[in-house]
Amino acid sequence: MGQITLKSVRKSFGDVHVIPGVDLEIRDGEFVVFVGPSGCGKSTLLRLIAGLEDTTAGQILIDGKDATDLPPARRGLAMVFQSYALYPHMTVRKNIAFPLKMAGLSEAEQAKKVEAAAKVLNLTAYLDRRPGQLSGGQRQRVAIGRAIVREPAAFLFDEPLSNLDAALRVTMRQEISELHQALKTTMIYVTHDQVEAMTMADKIVVLNAGRIEQVGSPLDLYHFPDNLFVAGFIGSPKMNLIEGAEAARHNARTIGIRPEHIGVGSGPWEGTVQLSEHLGSDSFVKVQVDGIGVLNVRAGGEIGVHHGDRIRLNPEPDKIHRFDADGKAIR
């Protein structure tokens, strides 16, 4: 089981209210991603759940039981740290066995579980090496191995891929997703990378300045952002946000249109191409649109526009997001 409930959880460091108050329900088996810009409080929230920090107010329930004042060791959670936090003086085998040793398991049981975990994670050949002799991806796997042997109620990941290079990040991302499908254990994953959030999550929690901006499935957030912050944060390249007369025409303070929802060729908007990047499959075109401003457009790979060209743009009308003066979505 791994159901986690946060009830008006607050965290302050002195006068600084890092988390002004968060309510959240995480169901058993869910893959939840906390995403937000750096300093938004997502790591703090994770550490509160882990028990590495204590809450200033509010309650944390794990499987219905109050865990607010439990030490981390007794919450039955496992954590994978950004720096992996492997014990450098222990072999991979001892690293993975450490939580079992702490739990007082017999040597034989420890060995059995370590072997099993190592097999799942392709670490069998490296069991007698030390972390210093492993590559970044292997270290990451050891950290995960150390987490899974405990059979925790939930896994906590604190930006686990940010120290890896781009290619490895994609591989590890898939491995973690596969692991989740295999184990079906609750996972809480903190990242500032919205691509990771979109690809891995069952449920994304978008945080900003310690507040939850929106909770929902990746596609929910993509299609129906509740507010400007989420609209701007989710999606890559970023949504174009337009204010002024054009927005007023749609009865909104601000309108948003994603680059992939703007057609090129004919349409109501006309502008001059400032920059076009041809990636092969896609082209990103930056257009100075008359009376509106700079828009980013994502077009097909075959489009042949260049700096200085005049082109017409056509926003898909049903893909236009409208926001009021408070930045809230108008639906």
98 binds another protein (CB under 8 A): yes
11 binds another protein (CB under 8 A): no
151 binds another protein (CB under 8 A): no
Residue 81 Cβ, how far from another protein at the closest point, in Å?
A: 5
Stretch that binds another protein, among 73-81, 133-141, 200-208, 215-223 (CB under 8 A): 73-81
Q: Is there a cis peptide before residue 237, judged by omega within 30 degrees of 0?
A: yes
Q: Count of residues binding another protein (CB under 8 A)?
A: 27
Q: Which is nearer to another protein, 77 or 207 (CB)?
A: 77
Q: Which is nearer to another protein, 98 or 233 (CB)?
A: 98
Which residue's structure tokens are 């903190």? Answer: 190
150 binds another protein (CB under 8 A): yes
Q: What are the φ/ψ torsions at residue 306 (nearest 5 degrees)?
A: -135, 170
Helix (H, G, I), strand (E, B) or coil at 21: strand
Q: Which is nearer to another protein, 78 or 197 (CB)?
A: 78
Burial per residue of 201-219, b for 16 or more beta-carbon CB atoms within 10 angstroms, e otherwise: bbbbbbbbebebbbbbebe
Stretch that binds another protein, among 51-59, 222-230, 245-253, 257-265 (CB under 8 A): 51-59
Q: Which two tokens stand for residue 198?
A: 């979109």
107 binds another protein (CB under 8 A): no
Which residue's structure tokens are 């409080």? Answer: 41
**The CA-based dihedral angle spanning residues 128, 132, 136, 137, taken in that order and rounded to the nearest 10 degrees:** 0
Stretch that binds another protein, among 1-9, 86-94, 254-262, 299-307 (CB under 8 A): 86-94
Residues 267-286 that bind another protein (CB under 8 A): none
328 binds another protein (CB under 8 A): no
Question: Exposed (0-12), middle (13-18) or buried (19+): which is 12, by Cβ within 10 Å?
Answer: middle
Question: How many Cβ atoms are within 10 Å of 48's Cβ, its own excluded?
Answer: 24
DSSP string covering 98-135: HHHHHTT--HHHHHHHHHHHHHHTT-GGGTTS-GGGS-
239 binds another protein (CB under 8 A): no
114 binds another protein (CB under 8 A): no
266 binds another protein (CB under 8 A): no
Q: In the complex, which residues of this chain contact another protein (CB under 8 A)?
A: 50-54, 71-74, 77-79, 81-83, 85-90, 98-99, 102-103, 146, 150
